[in-house]
């Protein structure tokens, strides 16, 4: 327990340094967290193509550079961070990734965390906000099973809503579970392939960017 406390304390110090560095440059960092297969990368591909704001992406995965290549093909700078056996990104990884990526002042920095509904919630990266993404294929009980992840969210996205006619998923129960974990949290339903809810997602991002610029 003492070791865990020490590790988190050191991470929090590094996260605070990241937050200062980003704030000095007007960069809004968003930590995107979900299980594997929720559609994070597809969401980001469409976002960087359509948002109309300067974006950069840190991609977290255990192996491969596939997702970073997808983001670059969509038109944004991206750096891949491979964690090996690690199940999350931490503040030191983000600091080193940002140094390589060199996001431009005033931009949005998306951090696509390693797919996992447990560990990423514990580690502050220096982000301005946290976005939790869950797809309709995962089960409406996930907010109740993994409350800490949802408890830290500034926004919750329900993805792949085009599949709702074909899966057994209770949207109302899912929203209720998310708001039990984080009362009043904003929830958006999106489909990155069909376009549902993307305008609302972009509006949320623009509001974040504008608030940081003031």
Q: What average pLDDT does this structure show over 8-30?
A: 97
Calculate the alpha carbon distances from 36 to 18, 133, 201, 204, 209 in Å: 26, 10, 20, 24, 27
Give the tens place of pLDDT for each residue, 174-203.
999 999 999 999 999 999 999 999 999 999
Tokens linked to 117: 């509904």
Please give the Cα distance from 171 to 25 (Å, whole number): 39
Give Cα 178 to chain centroid, integer Å: 16
CA–CA separation, 82 vs 5, rounded Å?
A: 24
Place of tokens 């299980």: 35
> 23-49: per-residue pLDDT in tens?
999 999 999 999 999 999 999 999 999
Q: Which two tokens stand for residue 102?
A: 């060199």
> At 123, phi and psi to the nearest 5?
-110, 110
Kindly tell me if the per-residue pLDDT of 5 is higher than 70. no
Contacts of residue 166, Cβ cutoff 8 Å, sequence gap at least 6: none
Answer whether 0.85 is exceeded by the pTM: yes
**Cα separation, 153 vs 127, whole angstroms:** 12
For the chain, the structural domain boundaries read 2-213
Q: Which CATH class is domain 2-213?
A: alpha beta
Q: What is the pLDDT of residues 134-180, one digit of tens each?
A: 999 999 999 999 999 999 999 999 999 999 999 999 999 999 999 99
Q: Check whether 214 has a pLDDT greater than 50.
A: no
Q: Report the alpha-carbon distance of residue 9 to residue 205 in Å, rounded.
A: 30
What average pLDDT does the segment 58-83 reach? Answer: 95
Share of the chain residues as helix, strand and coil, in percent rounded to the nearest 5 = 45, 20, 35
Confidence of residue 7 (pLDDT cuts 50, 70, 90): confident
107 CA to centre of own chain: 16
Q: What is the pLDDT of residues 109-119, one digit of tens each?
A: 999 999 999 99
* Average pLDDT taken over every residue of the chain: 95
pLDDT band at 85 (very low <50, low <70, confident <90, very high): confident
């Amino acid at each position: 327990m003492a070791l865990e406390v020490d590790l988190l304390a050191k991470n929090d110090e590094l996260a605070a340094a990241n937050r200062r560095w980003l704030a000095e440059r007007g960069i809004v960092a968003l930590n995107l967290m979900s299980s594997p297969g929720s559609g994070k990368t597809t969401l980001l591909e469409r976002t960087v193509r359509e948002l109309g704001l300067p974006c950069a992406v840190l991609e977290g995965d255990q192996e491969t550079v596939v997702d970073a290549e997808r983001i670059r093909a969509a038109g944004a700078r991206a750096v891949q961070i491979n964690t090996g056996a690690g199940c999350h990104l931490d503040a030191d990884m983000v600091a080193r990734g940002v140094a390589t990526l060199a996001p431009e002042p005033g931009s949005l920095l998306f951090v696509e965390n390693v797919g996992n509904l447990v560990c990423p919630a514990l580690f502050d990266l220096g982000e301005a906000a946290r976005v939790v993404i869950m797809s309709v294929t995962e089960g409406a009980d996930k907010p109740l099973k993994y409350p800490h992840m949802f408890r830290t969210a500034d926004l919750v996205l329900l993805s792949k809503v085009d599949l709702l006619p074909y899966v057994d998923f209770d949207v109302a129960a899912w929203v209720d579970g998310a708001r039990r974990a984080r009362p009043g949290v904003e929830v958006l339903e999106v489909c990155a392939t069909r376009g549902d809810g993307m305008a609302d997602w972009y509006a949320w991002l623009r509001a974040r960017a504008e608030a940081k610029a003031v």
